[in-house]
């Protein structure tokens, strides 16, 4: 069960970090008129199309003792990043970024611009408009972003293997563990973990769709 | 030259280019309802956005009581949230996740609670919304929602009110009752109101002052009857409900009688029209409402009307309770008659008729 706990710890941390990072980024992507915005959009979407091993490989190089990120980390904290839990969190944040940003951007862009204009004209500054109008009306998008990020991080394999390796209690997540069991022809153990992951994923998704439906019906019926 | 504005006049001078569209206007409006009239695409909404601070002009100045919100000369651009104006759109744009009352409170959230409650109670009463206060926008009808939106703007006691065709989706009864409420409010709070519309009926219902706009420019301003009933601009004549706009040349001017004769292009006849800014030989257009033309089966005699033209009916078309009759008299005239008149005169295509036009039904436009 250490693998499961590790996976959940990772998924929780990554989701929390991404919500903080992705929300302002999504706000900027949705509302900025910056002409080269498409470049940033492309960079954010890259993890969707790149094979996880490619992303994992570059992250491993960057986090290694001679890589820029690794050197910086070594100078700051006296440790390297590769094959550590922290390294895994950083890699997962990058890998799951589009899964958090894109639902947020989509729901921000779906908002009626007249509502935002009305809020401004009524004297609300951008922060108040965000808290009281944009965020509550984008709640379905926020829930989708949270769940997709969480589930995606929970299930990742390639990047974890490249950056984290397979250290019990530190970087051996559920998906790595399942792979290990299968390699050792321990199908019963693999099945137990796989089934648990399957059940949890289903419950999470069912919760989200149920929640979204409720929120949606209440406000957006017109 | 700096124009001194009288108290709480809204002064607007705006120049803005977006692609091939140019907005270039300079006007000021006093407290009361001022109508901004023009066809869609004339730039009316963009102009309101510039006043509200939602769009930024390349050049100009927007001010109330000589206090500027925007002044390109001094690089002043007060943000929309600090201009303290009311702005009502075509859609009510109510926040869907909170109640009508919470919508109304949004703009006065900084008030101390007793003051806020008093202000909300007062505006709910004035707009007869007490029973709807607890409802969410999805539970309101179109008219109710727009009434809440108006209350939400007015409760902030704005320095000016901008209305962008706010009643265009409502039926006449609702429209009139909301206009009456707005008038009542405006009598107590003397602020400039700019009311955008492309609906002629709304102009007549609201009319104190009208500014007509087209292609990003102001064409005319004045009181509605003067501006719209005697349009001096052809496009304006078309949008203001003049079905006939005919080309002609001034061939006689009679200052003593206050009239002139215009030879209509394509005809051998000329018509008498009121004197206007034109000299002999000028090309002018004459605008005539289809409903202002009389049809006769024989040449009428003993009439005060000065213009009697002979023609042939080209086509007839019934549209609800009106017969639209096209008569060729060298130029083609559109004439509207009632169903009864059409029946009694036995109007048919090919039939010869006489057109009767009063001098004062003929409007010379630029």
> Residue B83: is its pLDDT beyond 90?
yes
Give B53-106 as a 3 state SS string: CCCCCCEEEEEECCEEEEECCCCEECCHHHHCCEEECCCCCCCCCCCHHHHHHH
A112 touches chain B (CB under 8 A): yes
B93 touches chain A (CB under 8 A): yes
Instruction: State the residue for tokens 């057109």.
Output: B355
Q: Which of B81, B96, B136 sits opposite A123 (nearest CB)?
A: B81
Q: pLDDT digits over A105-131, tens only?
A: 999 999 999 999 999 999 999 999 999
Q: Where are the alpha helices (DSSP H) in B213-310?
A: 224-229, 234-239
| Contact criterion met (CB < 8 Å) for B153 and A122 | yes
Q: Which chain A residue's Cα is nearest to B136?
A: A219
Q: Residue A218's pLDDT band (boundaries 50, 70, 90)?
A: low
B52 touches chain A (CB under 8 A): yes
CA distance A191 to chain B (A): 45
The fold of the B10-231 domain, in CATH, is Rossmann fold (3.40.50)
Q: Which of A114, A125, A219 sits opposite B93 (nearest CB)?
A: A114
> Does residue A201 belong to any structural domain of this protein?
yes
Report the predicted TM-score, pTM, of the whole model to 2 decimal places: 0.73
- What's the domain range around A205? 2-31+51-214
Q: Determine the CATH number of domain B238-365.
A: 2.40.50.100
Q: Which chain B residue's Cα is nearest to A216?
A: B97
- Position A80 scores a pLDDT of 80
Cβ contacts of A123 on chain B, cutoff 8 Å: 81-82, 84, 107, 110, 156
Q: Averaged over B54-69, what is the pLDDT?
A: 92
Cβ contacts of A218 on chain B, cutoff 8 Å: 97, 136
Q: Residue B176's pLDDT band (boundaries 50, 70, 90)?
A: confident
B91 touches chain A (CB under 8 A): yes
> Residue B49: is its pLDDT beyond 90?
yes
> Does residue A11 belong to any structural domain of this protein?
yes
Q: Averaged over A19-25, what is the pLDDT?
A: 96
Give the start-to-end residue ranges of the domains of chain B. Answer: 10-231, 238-365
Q: pLDDT digits over A43-65, tens only?
A: 999 998 999 889 999 998 998 88
User: Quick one: what percent of chain A has pLDDT higher than 90?
Assistant: 49
| Contact criterion met (CB < 8 Å) for B54 and A117 | yes
CATH code, domain with A145:
1.10.3720.10
Q: pLDDT digits over B185-234, tens only?
A: 888 888 999 999 877 777 777 767 889 888 888 888 877 766 766 666 66
Question: B254 in the Ramachandran plot: left (φ > 0), alpha (ψ -120 to 50) or beta?
Answer: beta
Does residue A202 or residue B153 have the better pLDDT? B153
- Position A221 scores a pLDDT of 41
Q: Residue A216's pLDDT band (boundaries 50, 70, 90)?
A: low
Cβ contacts of B62 on chain A, cutoff 8 Å: none
- Position B16 scores a pLDDT of 93
Average pLDDT, chain B: 86
| Contact criterion met (CB < 8 Å) for B79 and A137 | no
Cβ contacts of B53 on chain A, cutoff 8 Å: 120-121
In this structure, the strands spanning B209-214 and B32-37 are: parallel
In this structure, the strands spanning B322-329 and B331-338 are: antiparallel
| Contact criterion met (CB < 8 Å) for A125 and B91 | no
> Does residue A46 belong to any structural domain of this protein?
no
Cβ contacts of A116 on chain B, cutoff 8 Å: none
Q: Residue B164's pLDDT band (boundaries 50, 70, 90)?
A: very high
CA distance A221 to chain B (A): 7
- Position B242 scores a pLDDT of 78
Cβ contacts of A115 on chain B, cutoff 8 Å: 93, 95
CA dihedral for B170, B171, B177, B179, sign (positive or negative): positive
What total number of domains does chain A contain?
Answer: 1
> Residue B19: is its pLDDT beyond 50?
yes
A192, with CB counted inside 10 A (0-12, 13-18, 19+), is middle
In degrees and rounded to multiples of 5, residue B193 shows phi and psi of: -120, 125
Tell me if B325 sits within 8 A of B295, measured CB to CB: yes
Q: Which chain A residue's Cα is nearest to B149?
A: A118
Q: Which chain A residue's Cα is nearest to B49?
A: A117
Q: Which of A124, A137, A222 sits opposite B138 (nearest CB)?
A: A222
- Position B366 scores a pLDDT of 62
| Contact criterion met (CB < 8 Å) for B96 and A133 | no
- Position B232 scores a pLDDT of 65
B86 touches chain A (CB under 8 A): yes
Question: B128 in the Ramachandran plot: left (φ > 0), alpha (ψ -120 to 50) or beta?
Answer: left
Q: What would the two tokens of residue B197 be?
A: 């519309």
């Amino acid at each position: 069960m250490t693998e499961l706990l590790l996976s959940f710890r990772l998924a929780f941390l990554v989701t929390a970090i991404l919500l903080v990072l992705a929300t302002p980024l999504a706000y900027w992507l949705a509302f900025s008129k910056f002409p080269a915005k498409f470049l940033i959009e492309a960079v954010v979407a890259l993890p969707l199309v790149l094979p996880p091993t490619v992303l994992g490989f570059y992250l491993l190089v960057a986090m290694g003792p001679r890589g820029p990120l690794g050197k910086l980390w070594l100078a700051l904290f006296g440790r390297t990043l590769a094959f550590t839990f922290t390294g895994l969190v950083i890699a997962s944040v990058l890998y799951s970024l589009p899964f958090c940003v894109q639902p947020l951007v989509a729901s921000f862009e779906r908002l009626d611009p007249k509502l935002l204009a009305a809020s401004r004209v009524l004297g609300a500054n951008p922060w108040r408009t965000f808290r009281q109008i944009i965020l509550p009306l984008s709640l379905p998008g926020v829930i989708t972003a949270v769940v997709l990020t969480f589930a995606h991080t929970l299930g990742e394999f390639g990047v974890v293997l490249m950056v984290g390796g397979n250290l019990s209690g530190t970087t051996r997540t559920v998906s790595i563990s399942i792979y290990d069991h299968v390699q050792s022809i321990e199908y019963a153990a693999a099945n137990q973990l796989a089934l648990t992951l399957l059940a949890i994923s289903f419950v999470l998704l069912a919760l989200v769709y149920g929640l979204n439906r409720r929120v949606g019906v209440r406000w957006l019926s017109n | 030259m700096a124009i001194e504005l009288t108290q709480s006049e809204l002064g607007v001078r705006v120049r803005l280019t977006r692609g091939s569209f140019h907005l270039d206007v300079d006007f000021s409006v006093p407290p009361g309802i001022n109508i901004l009239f023009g066809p869609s695409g004339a730039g009316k909404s963009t102009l309101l956005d510039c006043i509200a601070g939602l769009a930024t002009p390349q050049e100009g100045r927007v001010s109330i009581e000589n206090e500027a919100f925007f002044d390109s000369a001094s690089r002043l651009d007060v943000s929309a949230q600090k201009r303290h104006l009311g702005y009502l759109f075509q859609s009510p744009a109510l926040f869907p996740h909170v109640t009508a009352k919470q919508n109304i409170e949004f703009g006065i959230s900084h008030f101390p609670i007793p003051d806020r409650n008093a202000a909300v109670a007062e505006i709910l009463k004035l707009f007869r919304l007490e029973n709807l206060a607890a409802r969410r926008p999805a539970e309101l009808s179109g008219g109710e929602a727009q009434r809440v939106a108006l209350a939400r703007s007015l409760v902030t006691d704005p320095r000016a009110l901008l209305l962008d065709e706010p009643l265009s989706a409502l039926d006449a009864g609702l429209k009139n009752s909301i206009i009456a409420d707005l008038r009542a409010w405006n009598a107590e709070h003397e602020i400039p109101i700019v009311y955008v519309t492309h609906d002629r009926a709304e102009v007549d219902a609201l009319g104190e002052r009208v500014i007509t706009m087209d292609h990003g420019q102001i064409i005319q301003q004045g009181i509605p009857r003067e501006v719209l009933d005697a349009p001096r601009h052809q496009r304006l004549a078309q949008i203001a409900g003049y079905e006939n706009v005919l080309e002609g040349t001034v061939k006689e001017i009679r200052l003593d009688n206050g009239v002139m004769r215009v030879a209509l292009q394509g005809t051998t006849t000329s018509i008498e029209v009121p004197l206007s800014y034109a000299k002999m030989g000028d090309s002018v257009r004459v605008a005539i409402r289809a409903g202002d033309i009389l049809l006769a089966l024989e040449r009428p005699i003993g009439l005060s009307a000065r213009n009697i033209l002979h023609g042939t009916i080209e086509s007839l078309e019934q549209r609800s309770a009106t017969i639209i009759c096209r008569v060729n008299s060298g130029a083609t005239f559109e004439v509207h008659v009632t169903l009864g008149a059409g029946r009694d005169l036995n109007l048919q295509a090919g039939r010869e008729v006489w057109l009767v036009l009063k001098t004062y039904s003929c409007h010379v436009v630029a």
